Chain A
Amino acid sequence: MSDALAVDPAEAEIGTRRVKQRGSGELTIRRLLRDRAALGAFGFVLLLIIFALCAPLVAAATGHGMAQQFRDTGLTSAGIPRGPGHTFLLGTDSLGRDVLVRLAYGARVSLLVGVVASLVAAAIGVTIGTIAGYFGGWADLLLSRVIDLVMSVPFLLCALALVSVRGPSLTLSICVIIFFSWTHIGRVVRSQVLSLRQREFVEAARSLGSGPVSIIVRDVLPNLTVPIVVYTTMMIPSSIVFEATLSFLGLGIVPPAASWGGMLSEALNGSLYMVAWWMVIFPGGILLLTTLAFNILGDGLRDALDPKARRVGFVRLTRRRSSRSARKAAA
């Protein structure tokens, strides 16, 4: 389909203009509603949020505290964790703690880290990308080099070094994640601003006497809402995985606080999960489903917000398309 249209977009475009006059917001929602996978993903994320918010209720309902160890009821006489059953719906871990309750508390950590880190990283990335792209010159040179620098640092190694010095903590995890995640969106925004800046409507605003701040706020950023929303959404799952990884390596959330990565790490410890599969399946499964849901949601948002870009998932590397189509139009 896209191929047929790629032949001569100008020719095919004319016709589409007159018939539908729906607002873009309405169109977006219609497209989203048609996307069943995205709807399902959205539903899952909602359930997860409720699950996380209700973590104390889960604890109260089961009567098991988050870090409470049930060495008598929760472990077999051989000290092996108990599988899913009546008392422990999803089984227990090596210390006899309730996996279900820990999952709920772990969801809080994951969502908190995912959302906070993504939002802050997106804010930093958008700011730096916009400044570099709009002002160009030395600002661009400097900031682009900084982005390159951060991107070419082996981040997990650096995170290791950092944690070894400062000791693991939730705040440090979030900071590390932010520090190494803003660059991607920063680069995307920079290249988009760079091409937007050359568009004639920005020149028009400039020639009317608008200042740079006004141009950025009124003319540049509104045209970037789609990539910003999509990339921020896509950053949530990678932040969640990043946190889980840190915790898995023992560098994230400090036990006995629950986190999915930490739970998996405990399962790996002494190959315990070979006999207690629930210690892997439940945290691993919920982690996978969460990232999957956010990724599907991000894909769905992109398709709905910008149907023409359906096929483009990543940064376009060298794009001169806009200038070329302008030339075509000029001809």
Chain B
Amino acid sequence: MTSVLEVEQLSVRIPTEDGNVHAVQEVSFSVEAGTIFGIVGESGSGKSVLTQAISGLMPFAEITGSARFDGVDLLTMRPEELQSMRGRRIGMIFQDPLSSLHPYYTIGSQITELIHAHERVSPAAAKARTIELLAKVGISDAGTRFSSYPHQFSGGMRQRVMIAMALALNPPLIIADEPTTALDVTVQAQIIELLQEVQQESGATIVMITHDLGLLSTIASDVMVMYAGNRMEIGARAEIFGRPAHPYTAGLLLSSPANYTPGEELVPIPGRPPSLLQPAALCPFLERCESAVDDCRRLPPPVRVYADGGRSACWLEHKAPATERRPATVAARKISRHRAANVLAASVQDVRLTYRTGPLGRRKSVPVLKGIDLEIHRGETLGLVGESGCGKTTLARVIAGLAPVTEGVVTVAGADLQYINRAAWRRMRREVQLVFQDPFGSLNPRRRVGSIIGDPYRIHERLSGAQRRSRVQSLMELVGLNPEHYNRFPSEFSGGQRQRIGIARALALQPELIICDEPVSALDVSIQAQILNLLKSLQQEFGLTYLFISHDLAVVRHICDRIAVMDGGMIIELADADSIYDAPQQEFTRTLLSASMSRPYPISGQPRTLVESLSAPARPDGVQEVA
């Protein structure tokens, strides 16, 4: 085995107005030829910065270290040399296929441009090659599609075009930066399959960057785990997933709902990632680590080298201790038996919603909801699952009374939404509350947290001053926020904390129904579990009713009693959570399931054999921070 890419001690600093962001700190790894190498990390881990720095796409960053590709150091190359490597020797695929293609040029011309940039070929030959490529990545009728524009393709098709572009000159190395993140789960699966096929056929090496550990468990041969710009652990797939050495790796595995089995509790990683403005002198994970020992607080972690070739930057010698799952505590167990009373919190009967769009005279009717029947029982969690555009969010807005229906009856807490007047509508607001997806968008950045959470009291109970403040503070305590942060602005909180603020706001008036619209999909895995557990324990404590909307079956399974699967504006399957998983009735449900659930990797209890410990040299620029 030879390595295609060998990165040594790579550091990347990005100058910003607030100071240097130490995006990548002394990361080393090597990629074997003809394999898929996975880099996994949450947002802020530096995984994208790392690869873009290597390929010369970050001209303003300060980069040190070396990155040998084909025996030449990419970092010492002149920009023009690097430019000739890109596209020809290194192909790249990016996250968002919607914005990664130029909207004004045909996809064909965008690919031939790459061919012409590196080879002297006739336009006709380039075109023929491009059409061949497009056909190869699964674009039917490639000859005509050659002259189509990106907006005429779906997201998955555009990602195929990106892959065709990356493959055009058969580069030995392909860097795929979150290639499936922006796509629907079923499309994700197809793209991963295509990438694997392409890799096997061309023998290229793929560096795959992702935040989704589960994605790598089936395709990567080696995996590097990054955190806050540092390499935490690197090793073969079997070791990383089976017997992780670093507590962070173990934590990621345990908190991922994709690995969830019923009757167990997700184990969140507490806290949040550190600032990158100062390079960490000690282990960057220290503050969140439950296995931290005294040495962790004194010295930077040594690199443990194991017999299997894996390396981990940690004081622990053999493996992470917390690799066993905890059985669910009573508090967090599902509470379906609570809904024995069978009281309806909300019900939806034959609801239809049709939008009318298009120019006057040629109006088209676009049906969004095509006859939905749904009952939500008090005290249960009903999951609503479907891909983008299936109408699940619209249905949520209908139930919340924020969107009018074209036909049908929506009843919440016994009142028919259609026949209530303005005053009653206002009163209804006490009964249904929403928790939104985007923790950055759902809080007004110009208002203080206290006033955001206190809004429901201001509007509905006309509480003011000290009374409101004490109510808000007890809510903050309830959702795990420091009540002293009452006067802060949302920008001073992290994503997970903001989501807690959103939950506190929804909780304030003790509504009959809380609609959670993708409440964790914008969060990192380690934070997701915190929020999911919070939702569960609140439900246990107050007997709340949730309508939980998600595209992610794994998340839904963890929290829901019953699950409704939506497709094309209709509910195609509705059953208990376990039956959906064990015996899906519909073809679509099966596809969705197989695409979104990665099989949990068997965790082995075997400790790993330590062969060597390389103590890290004290970092000159950070040591003074040791407390």
Are A and B physically bound partners?
Answer: yes
B178 interface residue, CB < 8 Å from A?
A: yes
Chain B residue numbers with a CB within 8 Å of A15 are: 21-22, 44, 274-277
User: Which residue of chain B lies nearest to A209 when distances are taken between CB atoms in the complex?
Assistant: B429
The answer to whether A16 and B44 have CB atoms under 8 Å apart is: no
Interface size on B, residues (CB 8 A): 67
Give the contacts of A47-79 with B (CB-CB under 8 A): none
The answer to whether A19 and B48 have CB atoms under 8 Å apart is: no
The answer to whether B400 and A324 have CB atoms under 8 Å apart is: no
Chain A residue numbers with a CB within 8 Å of B434 are: 203-204, 207
User: Which residue of chain A lies nearest to B57 when distances are taken between CB atoms in the complex?
Assistant: A7
Chain A residue numbers with a CB within 8 Å of B14 are: 4-5, 12
B599 interface residue, CB < 8 Å from A?
A: no
Closest chain-B Cβ to A296's Cβ sits at a distance in Å of: 20
A326 interface residue, CB < 8 Å from B?
A: yes
Chain B residue numbers with a CB within 8 Å of A5 are: 14, 16
Say yes or no: A307-B505 contact (C-beta < 8 A), given A7-B49, A17-B492, A199-B441: no
Q: How far is the CA of A200 from the CA of B425 in the complex (A)?
A: 20
The answer to whether B444 and A209 have CB atoms under 8 Å apart is: no
B61 interface residue, CB < 8 Å from A?
A: yes
User: Which residue of chain B lies nearest to A16 when distances are taken between CB atoms in the complex?
Assistant: B18
The answer to whether A222 and B23 have CB atoms under 8 Å apart is: no
A312 interface residue, CB < 8 Å from B?
A: no
Give the contacts of B28-61 with A (CB-CB under 8 A): 43-46, 48-49, 52, 57-61
Q: How far is the CA of A300 from the CA of B225 in the complex (A)?
A: 43
A311 interface residue, CB < 8 Å from B?
A: no
User: Which residue of chain A lies nearest to B433 when distances are taken between CB atoms in the complex?
Assistant: A207
User: Which residue of chain A lies nearest to B12 when distances are taken between CB atoms in the complex?
Assistant: A4
Chain B residue numbers with a CB within 8 Å of A19 are: 18-19, 275, 277-278
User: What's the dominant secondary structure at chain A's contact region?
Assistant: helix
The answer to whether B518 and A209 have CB atoms under 8 Å apart is: no
Chain A residue numbers with a CB within 8 Å of B426 are: 209
The answer to whether B402 and A330 have CB atoms under 8 Å apart is: no
Say yes or no: A16-B182 contact (C-beta < 8 A), given A11-B45, A201-B442, A204-B436: no
Per-position 1/0 for A2-16, Cβ under 8 A of B: 011101101111111
Per-position 1/0 for A97-138, Cβ under 8 A of B: 000000000000000000000000000000000000000000
A20 interface residue, CB < 8 Å from B?
A: yes
Per-position 1/0 for B419-461, Cβ under 8 A of A: 0000001100100111011101111111100000001100110
The answer to whether B447 and A12 have CB atoms under 8 Å apart is: no
Per-position 1/0 for B168-195, Cβ under 8 A of A: 0000000000100110000000000000
A218 interface residue, CB < 8 Å from B?
A: yes
Chain B residue numbers with a CB within 8 Å of A326 are: 437-438, 440-441, 522
B98 interface residue, CB < 8 Å from A?
A: yes
The answer to whether A329 and B429 have CB atoms under 8 Å apart is: no
The answer to whether B460 and A327 have CB atoms under 8 Å apart is: no
Apart from A203-B402, A208-B505, 9 more pairs, CB < 8 Å: A16-B277, A18-B275, A204-B442, A204-B505, A207-B429, A208-B455, A210-B455, A223-B445, A225-B446
**Interface residues, chain A, CB within 8 Å of chain B?**
1, 3-5, 7-8, 10-21, 24, 199-201, 203-210, 214, 218-219, 222-223, 225, 307, 322, 324, 326-331
Q: How far is the CA of A12 from the CA of B23 in the complex (A)?
A: 7
User: Which residue of chain B lies nearest to A215 when distances are taken between CB atoms in the complex?
Assistant: B444
Give the contacts of B555-569 with A (CB-CB under 8 A): none
Give the contacts of B350-385 with A (CB-CB under 8 A): none
Q: How far is the CA of A4 from the CA of B58 in the complex (A)?
A: 6
Chain B residue numbers with a CB within 8 Å of A8 are: 48-49, 52
Chain A residue numbers with a CB within 8 Å of B443 are: 201, 204
User: Which residue of chain B lies nearest to A201 when distances are taken between CB atoms in the complex?
Assistant: B444
Chain B residue numbers with a CB within 8 Å of A205 are: 444, 455
Chain B residue numbers with a CB within 8 Å of A18 are: 274-275
Say yes or no: A4-B455 contact (C-beta < 8 A), given A19-B277, A223-B444, A329-B440: no
Say yes or no: A327-B18 contact (C-beta < 8 A), given A4-B59, A11-B44, A11-B46: no
Q: How far is the CA of A324 from the CA of B178 in the complex (A)?
A: 16
Chain B residue numbers with a CB within 8 Å of A200 are: 436-438, 441-442
Q: How far is the CA of A12 from the CA of B492 in the complex (A)?
A: 15
Contact among A16, A219, A330 for B444, CB-based, below 8 A: A219
Q: How far is the CA of A199 from the CA of B438 in the complex (A)?
A: 9
The answer to whether B273 and A14 have CB atoms under 8 Å apart is: yes
When A and B form their complex, which 10 residue pairs have the shortest distance between CB atoms, in order from nearest?
A15-B276, A14-B44, A209-B429, A4-B60, A200-B442, A222-B446, A331-B181, A200-B436, A329-B522, A18-B275
B521 interface residue, CB < 8 Å from A?
A: yes
Say yes or no: A218-B447 contact (C-beta < 8 A), given A18-B274, A204-B434: yes
Closest chain-A Cβ to B499's Cβ sits at a distance in Å of: 12
Q: How far is the CA of A322 from the CA of B438 in the complex (A)?
A: 11
Closest chain-B Cβ to A245's Cβ sits at a distance in Å of: 38
Say yes or no: A20-B182 contact (C-beta < 8 A), given A15-B44, A223-B445: no
Per-position 1/0 for B57-83, Cβ under 8 A of A: 111110000000000000000000000
Q: How far is the CA of A10 from the CA of B456 in the complex (A)?
A: 31
Closest chain-B Cβ to A212's Cβ sits at a distance in Å of: 12
The answer to whether A330 and B275 have CB atoms under 8 Å apart is: no
The answer to whether B58 and A7 have CB atoms under 8 Å apart is: yes
Q: How far is the CA of A24 from the CA of B95 in the complex (A)?
A: 33
Chain B residue numbers with a CB within 8 Å of A327 are: 96, 182
Contact among A1, A7, A329 for B52, CB-based, below 8 A: A7
Say yes or no: A14-B57 contact (C-beta < 8 A), given A209-B429, A328-B96: no
